[in-house]
Amino acid sequence: MEYKENQKVMIFRKDIETQNGTMAIYSYGISNKNQDGTYSKTYRQCIFKKGVELQNKQMITIKKAFEKPKEYKLKDETIKKDSYAFILDFDEIGESTDQLVQKAFSQPNKTNDPFAEFGETVSVDDDYLE
């Protein structure tokens, strides 16, 4: 697979436990529109240079990447062939979706009270509601 220069993708991160500690596994989604108007989606595993740490659902622009083949043996001794993207150079685009959601819920939401902009507060006693 050839990678276009400045291709934008969303990186998904999954942390797994190994014998040597926690390890991050990265992938990105690919979506194509079919002739009948439906979409087909798949995910591709990707790796980065040593020391790169990305958040889950981080948008990046791929500057330089190549496809790397891999083979592995299944439990029934069958050999499976696959490949993954080795992303050499990229730019992060803003904050990750997870970071934005976390920030939105951690800040007080002033829009809960539609009358807050009027600057008045109204108190209603329990007796009034009966």
Q: What is the pLDDT of residue 129?
A: 64
- d(CA 47, CA 24) in angstroms, rounded, equals 10
Q: What is the pLDDT of residue 75?
A: 81
117 in a structural domain: no
Give me the residues of the chain with pLDDT under 70, please.
1-4, 96, 104-124, 128-130
Structure tokens at 41: 């989606």
Q: What is the pLDDT of residue 115?
A: 59
* Residues spanned by the domain of 82: 7-96
Q: What is the CATH number of the domain that holds 61?
A: 2.40.50.140
Give yes or no for a contact between 62 and 87, defined as CB atoms under 8 angstroms apart: yes
Q: What is the pLDDT of residue 121?
A: 63
Residue 121 amino acid letter: T
Q: What is the pLDDT of residue 118?
A: 61
Q: What is the pLDDT of residue 2?
A: 60
Is the model's pTM score more than 0.75?
no
Phi, psi of 127 (to 5 degrees): -60, -35
- d(CA 50, CA 122) in angstroms, rounded, equals 58
54 in a structural domain: yes
DSSP class of 1: -
Count of structural domains, the chain? 1
Query: b/e for 44-60, b at 16 or more Cβ within 10 A?
Result: bebebeeeeebebbbbb
- d(CA 91, CA 106) in angstroms, rounded, equals 27
Q: What is the pLDDT of residue 130?
A: 61
124 in a structural domain: no
Q: What is the pLDDT of residue 98?
A: 72
130 in a structural domain: no
Q: What is the pLDDT of residue 117?
A: 61
- d(CA 12, CA 51) in angstroms, rounded, equals 17
